[in-house]
């Protein structure tokens, strides 16, 4: 069973908290491929470069193995703590990572994130961000002073979700990524990339806002 290697600063630990009711974050491994294949659909990867090379469990295993081999990525599976959305407790419903880990500068990025469509607009995204931000700003030693989140310039749903966290939009890198052909898109696509960040001094306000938001959510 292949699992994500840890960096010297950020380790692949199980993340959970009393404020988080629906999911926990487990170290990402190839063994999550079957669950992730079951909750995914091709359109999820229209704005990213995270799609599998073929639409099968084997394809998801290949993509996870490729991600696991990256030197500056520590990944997590979003795993249900209780039955929800027709799936049993213990089923993975998405994945996310710490990436671009810069220990000397006490900064990192939350990225390579996707969630099964039936769990969009639920507790899953804010819970996973809460766990990761709390880990970065409160648990790491030394603690992070900057967490960035980036997204495709055309992915408005992702931009709204990031802004709802309280992240500050820093700017747009123009023509920053070339998205490969994918599914029914037969040609590569040049895309802008949007940068957001949360700083350590902003975390207390963001944390309170997230906790209030989670308190008002059901699924």
Q: Map out the domains of the chain as residue ranges.
A: 23-215
Is it the case that residue 186 has pLDDT exceeding 80? no
pLDDT range class, residue 43, cuts 50, 70, 90 = confident
User: Looking at domain 23-215, does it have CATH number 3.40.630.30?
Assistant: yes
Q: What is the pLDDT of residue 209?
A: 95
Q: How confident is the model at residue 46 (pLDDT cuts 50, 70, 90)?
A: confident
Task: List the single range of 4-18, 78-92, 149-163, 174-188 with lowest mean pLDDT.
Answer: 174-188
Residue 180 has pLDDT above 90, yes or no: no
Q: Please give the mean pLDDT across all residues of the chain.
A: 93
The 3-state secondary structure of the chain reads: CCECCCCCCCCCCCECCCCCCCEEEEECEHHHHHHHHHHCCHHHHCCCCCCCCCCCHHHHHHHHHHHHCCCCCEEEEEEECCCECCECCCCEEEEEEEEEEEHHHCEEEEEEEEECHHHCCCCHHHHHHHHHHHHHHHHCCCCCCEEEEEEECCCHHHHHHHHHHCCEEEEEEEEEEEECCECCECCCEEEEEEEEEEEHHHHHHHHHHHHHHHHCCCC
The tens digit of pLDDT for each residue in 96-106 reads 999 999 999 99
pTM exceeds 0.75: yes
- What is the per-residue pLDDT for 88? 98
Tell me, what's the pLDDT at 8?
87
Q: Determine the pLDDT at residue 183.
A: 62
Give the pLDDT confidence score for residue 188 in this predicted structure: 84
Residue 4 has pLDDT above 60, yes or no: no
Mean pLDDT of 31-40: 98
Confidence of residue 6 (pLDDT cuts 50, 70, 90): low
């Amino acid at each position: 069973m292949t699992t994500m290697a840890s960096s010297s600063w950020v380790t692949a630990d199980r993340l959970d908290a009393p404020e988080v009711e629906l999911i926990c974050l487990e170290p990402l491994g190839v063994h999550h491929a079957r669950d992730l294949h079951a909750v995914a659909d091709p359109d999820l990867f229209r704005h990213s470069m995270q799609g599998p090379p073929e639409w099968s469990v084997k394809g998801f295993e290949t993509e996870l193995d490729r991600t696991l081999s990256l030197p500056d990525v520590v990944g997590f599976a979003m795993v249900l703590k209780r039955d929800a959305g027709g799936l049993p407790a213990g089923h993975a419903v998405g994945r996310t990572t710490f990436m671009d880990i810069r220990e000397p500068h006490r900064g990192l990025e939350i990225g390579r994130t996707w969630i099964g469509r039936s769990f969009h607009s639920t507790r899953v995204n804010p819970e996973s961000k809460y766990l990761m931000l709390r880990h970065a700003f409160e648990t790491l030693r030394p603690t992070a002073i900057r967490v960035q989140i980036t997204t495709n310039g055309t992915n408005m749903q992702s931009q709204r979700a990031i802004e709802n966290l309280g992240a500050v939009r820093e700017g747009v890198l123009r023509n920053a990524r070339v998205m490969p052909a994918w599914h029914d898109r037969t040609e590569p696509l040049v895309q802008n990339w949007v940068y957001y960040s949360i700083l350590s001094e902003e975390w207390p306000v963001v944390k309170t806002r997230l906790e209030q938001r989670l308190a008002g959510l059901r699924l």
